């Protein structure tokens, strides 16, 4: 969660320092929306990668249980 907050704050700071001095409300809204979209996309990638790792761990554990069960029989 902190990574998301840092990315969002960094993006908004960059947007404000680059666009804000001469920006209209629409331009600023557009930049903030773009930053939010990029953060959301990165969060989706992170969640997907985390889910894949968790599934791989569960699968490995299940295979281990099956192997142990077969050996004990």
- pLDDT tens per residue across span 23-73: 676 777 787 788 888 888 888 898 999 999 999 999 999 999 999 998 987
Position 58 scores a pLDDT of 96
pLDDT at 11 over 80: no
Supply the range of the domain harboring residue 8: 2-72
More confident residue, 9 or 23: 9
Report how many domains make up the chain: 1
Prediction pTM value: 0.58
At 24, give phi and psi (nearest 5°).
-85, 170
For the purposes of burial, counting CB atoms within 10 Å of the CB of 44, is it exposed (0-12), middle (13-18) or buried (19 or more)?
Answer: exposed
More confident residue, 12 or 48: 48
């Amino acid at each position: 969660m902190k990574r998301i907050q840092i990315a969002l704050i960094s993006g908004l700071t960059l947007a404000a320092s680059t666009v804000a001095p001469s920006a209209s409300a629409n331009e600023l809204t557009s930049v903030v929306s773009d930053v939010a979209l990029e953060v959301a996309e990165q969060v989706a990638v992170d969640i997907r990668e985390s889910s894949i790792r968790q599934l791989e761990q569960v699968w490995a554990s299940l295979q281990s249980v099956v192997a142990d069960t077969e050996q004990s029989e």
